[in-house]
Chains A and B, each alone.
Chain A
Amino acid sequence: MSGALFSAATGMNAQQHKLDTISNNLANVDTTGFKKTRDEFADLMYKYMKRTGAPGNTESGKSQVYTGLGVQVANNTKLFTQGSLQETGRELDVAIKGPGFFGVQQPDGDVLYTRAGDLHYDASTGTLLTSMGYPIMNGAVPLDVPQSTIKDITIQPNGMVLVNDNQVGQIGMYNCVNPENLRSMGDNLYDDTALSGQMEVFEPTGGPTGTVLLQGYLEKSNVNAVQEMVDMISAQRAYEFNSKAITTADNMMQTINALKR
């Protein structure tokens, strides 16, 4: 009976975790450049009471008796599907169509990565900042945009930045082998990990599968609210099923207890 108790508990834990993930996706349904996360489940070990071919097994030797021990959350994956592109008409909104990330410099000098392109211009330092105030990178240094008004800044599809039709630099685009395993750092930022592979600069080439930067657009979150709601319902029900298994195991233990008066 304790087997039933514990495997049902693992089921409740896993569904709880899934609900946490769904809630976070839903909370970010309107976050620029947000990429949704998915929980991936796998079953736990099995306890074998009788194996195939074991001595004393039935005539064929093929039969086995085992019990499973429950379920685990084996992996969290981010889905880097394209979010829908919304036209804003604002000069410093830049959406990335296709794979890739902006590099942003942190106060400590580290570079993190983002897809949120709602940029701002800091005239005092001549840099383009993200909404959280971090400068956008151009290669190894922050992009330098000389004194100008926002109206004069043009960003070309390949990332080239023009001020009054003079090239002043390029918005650096970065990508890694396996963005699904980037670590989320909050503030729309990602850091590369051993699993994701090193971030490297690349040239946005455009074309049907290539990357282009779109000035005057924002990339919306790729969370599909309907899908998340459906997943939430199914997670809640699965949670309840598992709690019923626990109640049943509990009742049965009570029955055992009533054996001896």
Chain B
Amino acid sequence: MLRGIYTAAMGMLAEEAKVNETSNNLANVDTPGFKKDRTTFSTYLLREIERTDVENNNIERTPIGKLESGVVLDETEAYFQQGDIVTTESPYDFAIKGQGFFTIENEDGTRYYTRNGQFNRNAEGFLVDTIGNYVLDDTGSRIALDNGINVREDGSIFEDGVLAGRMALVDFEEKKALEKSGNNYFKPTEYSGEAEETFDASIIQGAYERSNVSALKEMVNLIKAQRHFEVTQRVITTEDQMLDAAINRVGRAG
């Protein structure tokens, strides 16, 4: 009976994590280049249930089914589905159509990768992102905007009509192992693989990619999580009532 209480409590904890995640997705429903998260769950401590038969002094065990003792968080994964692309009037807005990331470098030389293409120009005349870190081209240098900028679909940069390089567009072998580090950044990890230049995606100037969060799906998730939470809560109170009966009423006459 006590095991049931713990199993149900694990279910409540899992739904709590789900609501935290949904809430973050909803908070970022308007964050450019944001990729929604999905947490998956797995069963915990799978146990075989066996029937024990004793025949002719032989003990025989026959499997009759499985019992799981609860649920745990398995993994959180960002969904790299394309977000809507909206056009703007700013020449420093860029959207990636297809899979890939812009390469960003901060003052210390640390590189980050992002899908947020709301860029600006800084005081030195370089193309920078929302936070003020530099956007890089394919040779790893900063992009100067002294003569204006014109980026074609393949990412090639034209300054004053002259080809001046290509905007760095990279992709990773194992995107789900990328680490989210805030400010719309992704950071490579040991398992994501190195950033490799990609030619599969195209760049659109004067547009940016919106968050790929669907408010509708997140709302459904909220309802689901809340109701499941209530159900598992009911399981716990039921178990509690049963315990109460077992302790206080079993064996009482009348």
Residues of A within 8 A of B (CB): 1, 3-5, 7-8, 10-11, 14-15, 18, 38, 40-46, 48-53, 58, 60-71, 74-75, 77, 79, 81, 177-178, 180-181, 194-197, 209, 222, 234-235, 237-238, 241-242, 244-245, 248-249, 251-252, 255-256, 258-259, 261
Known contacts: A41-B32, A180-B120, A197-B123. The answer to whether A74 contacts B131 by CB under 8 A is yes
Q: Which residue of chain A has its CB nearest to the CB of B192?
A: A52
Q: Could you list some 7 contacts between A and B, CB below 8 A?
A: A45-B181, A53-B191, A64-B179, A68-B37, A177-B125, A181-B120, A251-B226
Determine whether the beta carbon of A51 is less than 8 Å from that of B179.
yes
Which chain B residues border A11 with CB–CB below 8 Å?
23, 26-29
CB pair A40–B125 under 8 Å, yes or no, is no
B191 & A62 in contact (Cβ 8 Å cutoff): yes
B215 touching A237, Cβ below 8 Å: yes
Residues of B within 8 A of A255 (CB): 226, 229-230, 233
Given contacts A178-B123, A255-B229, contact A52 B23 (CB under 8 A): no
Report the Cα distance A71→B130, complex, angstroms.
Answer: 13
Closest residue to B233 on the A side, CB-wise?
Answer: A255
Residue on B nearest A15 in the bound complex, by CB: B30
Asked if B108 lies at the interface with its beta carbon under 8 angstroms from chain A, I say no
B123 cross-chain contacts in A, Cβ below 8 A? 177-178, 181, 194-197
CB–CB A256/B121 < 8 A: no
Q: Are A62 and B177 in contact (CB under 8 A)?
A: yes
Tell me if B99 is interfacial: C-beta within 8 Å of chain A.
Answer: no
Determine which of A3, A64, A238 lies in contact with B23 in the assembled complex, contact meaning CB atoms within 8 Å. A3
CB distance from B44 to the nearest CB of A (A): 13
Contact of A177 among B15, B89, B124, B236 (CB under 8 A): B124
A170 to B93, CA, bound (A): 36
Distance in Å: Cβ of B131 to nearest Cβ of chain A? 6
User: Known: A62-B191, A195-B123. Is A14-B27 also a contact (CB below 8 A)?
Assistant: yes
Interface residues contributed by chain B, number (CB under 8 Å): 67
The answer on a CB contact under 8 Å between B27 and A242 is yes
A18 to B27, CA, bound (A): 13
> What are the 4 tightest A-B residue pairs by CB atom distance, in nearest-first order?
A11-B27, A68-B24, A63-B75, A4-B23
| Interface set, chain B 145-174, CB cutoff 8 A to A | 148, 174
Interface: B200 (CB within 8 A): no
Chain A residue at minimum C-beta to C-beta distance from B72: A65
- Min CB distance A139 to B, Å, is 23
Q: Which residues of B contact A61 (CB under 8 A)?
A: 190-191
Map CB proximity to A onto B194-237 as digits: 1 under 8 Å, 0 otherwise: 00000000000000000000010011001101100110010011
